[in-house]
Structure 1
Amino acid sequence: MTLIRLGAFTALALVMSQQASAQEFRGVRAEVNGGVDRFYSEGNNDTGLAVGGAAGLDFDLGGLVVGPEVTFLWSPRENVTRDGPGVAYRKSFEEWGFGLRAGTLITPDTLVYAKGAFVVNEQRKRFDADTVGDYYNHYRTRGWQVGGGIEQMLSEHFYVKAEGRYSNYRTDSSRLTGLLGLGVLFGPAAPAPVVAPPPAPEPAPPPPATQTCPDGSVILATDACPVPPPPPPPPAPEPERG
């Protein structure tokens, strides 16, 4: 059932993203996470491992990234406390969060953010009296959550993150959680690359300059015309007649 709920919220985020402005829309993200969780109640605490997930939308407003987020945490922690004439058992199960995340891109691939949320936690409380007065109650308690973290893109779509959260359920119970996550960011389609036109061919070099010599030959302007042949000798005089 938990996976079905998380899948439903992820699908809802995908549908909502189709209505977002492509100019400001950074993407739809979904992730799995896990870490260490400490549950506080009745002046006692219980620490253990936690697993969960998150889904949300991101909008890039010129370096400021904001968007709604849905989170889920599974951490069955239980505090056993001696309380007067008996023993109190307070157990926490799943937590759902519905909130807003806002952060700044300190580099094109690194996001530092803070978050706030409304949270709902399933709890069970039992009191075993030494004599009489036992009771049992299974309920959902509501409260608020604050947190922050850092998110680092590994590639165009995949990222890792580290996050800390504090949840207060306003029923003498709260929790402190540290998580590491791995997620995927489904961004809008990238614009088609602009293909530059091929460069224009270089113009053909101009023909070399020429000159016409006195003998009618055409040669390069940088060459010298041939020396004209010497004129023929004059004809010999005719002998005189006596």
Structure 2
Amino acid sequence: MRKLAMATAAAAFGAMLAAPAMAQDGPFAGGRVEALAGYDNVQDGGDGSSEGTSGFTYGGLVGYDIQRGNTVFGLEGEVTDATTSTRSYNALAAGDRFSVEAGRDFYLGGRIGAVISPQAMVYAKGGYTNARVESRYTTGATGATETIDKVNLDGFRVGAGLEYKLSPTSFIKGEYRYSHYGNVDNVDIDLDRHQLMAGIGIRF
């Protein structure tokens, strides 16, 4: 998966560098900005019985595409946040609460698409993701909250989706993506993240 993610991003980047200026023309070419929202699920990849924890994710994306015939190559960067969290009570003392929350997520990668009609394109994507996880402990006696830790997780992401044009400059899209985070401070955490995203964007 990691090799696939890096290969997708590298192929898109290389094609964009090699393409002449005239190859940028096409209904799916040019810069774009998007608003994103969707379903987020985080789980322990090492436990096949784990259902994980789910929440809502939202954010924005900027990207640039070129088109050669029916093939589209793009680069994109994304920033999202999430409501995904898990909580346990009476962890260390009566009335206390321990919570782990997903935070901001940075993504940088590439995509390769195939135009299947004048309005629609299917694509695959891959790249690098850096997600923050924050843990908190709240005592039962005083209600005081102490931030225990904020950890940044490095990983890779792969995904696929469909983009559909509403007009020459606007579009919507649906996308599934999978992210994996391997280790923190040489500790293998084996964390998997599954997301179903919807987006609306403007191309310019």
What TM-score, normalized by structure 2, do the two folds share?
Answer: 0.70
1:112 alignment partner, one of 106, 109, 122: 122
* 3-state SS in 2 of match to 1:155: coil
2:60 alignment partner, one of 50, 53, 58: 53
Counterpart residue type for residue 176 of structure 1: H
Distance 1:103 1:81 in 2: 43
Q: Deviations over 1:147-192 (max 9, x none)?
A: 1100011111000111111111223322111111110111xxxxxx
Equivalent residue number for residue 23 of structure 1: 22
1:73 alignment partner, one of 68, 71, 80: 80
1:85 CA displacement: 8.0
1:78 CA displacement: 1.5
1:103 alignment partner, one of 104, 107, 113: 113
1 or 2 for the larger relative contact order (CA 8 Å, sep ≥6)? 2
Q: Taking structure 1 as reference, are residues 44 and 126 closer, same or farther at Cα in structure 2, changes over 3 Å only?
A: farther
Equivalent residue number for residue 36 of structure 1: 39
Equivalent residue number for residue 12 of structure 2: none
- Check the 8 A contact 1:44/1:79 in 2, yes or no: no
Q: Deviations over 1:45-71 (max 9, x none)?
A: 221222111111101122110111111
1:77 CA displacement: 1.4
Q: Taking structure 1 as reference, are residues 80 and 172 closer, same or farther at Cα in structure 2, changes over 3 Å only?
A: farther
Q: Deviations over 1:63-101 (max 9, x none)?
A: 11011111122103122369x989864321111100011
Distance 1:178 1:142 in 2: 20
- Check the 8 A contact 1:150/1:162 in 2, yes or no: yes
- Check the 8 A contact 2:110/2:127 in 1, yes or no: yes
Name the larger-Rg structure. Answer: 1
Distance 1:152 1:76 in 2: 28
Counterpart residue type for residue 112 of structure 1: V
Equivalent residue number for residue 176 of structure 1: 194
What TM-score, normalized by structure 1, do the two folds share?
Answer: 0.60
Q: Which runs of structure 1 show a deviation greater than 6 angstroms over 4 or more consecutive aligned residues?
A: 84-88
Equivalent residue number for residue 232 of structure 1: none
- Check the 8 A contact 1:76/1:94 in 2, yes or no: no
Higher strand share: 2
Which residues of 2 match residues 163-202 of structure 1 at below 5 A? 163-170=175-182, 171-186=189-204
1:44 CA displacement: 5.5
Distance 1:88 1:45 in 2: 16
Distance 1:173 1:126 in 2: 19
Task: State the superposition RMSD in angstroms.
Answer: 2.8
Distance 2:132 2:66 in 1: 31
Unpaired runs of at least 5, structure 2 = 1-15, 139-146, 183-188
Identity of aligned residues (%): 28
Distance 2:124 2:98 in 1: 35
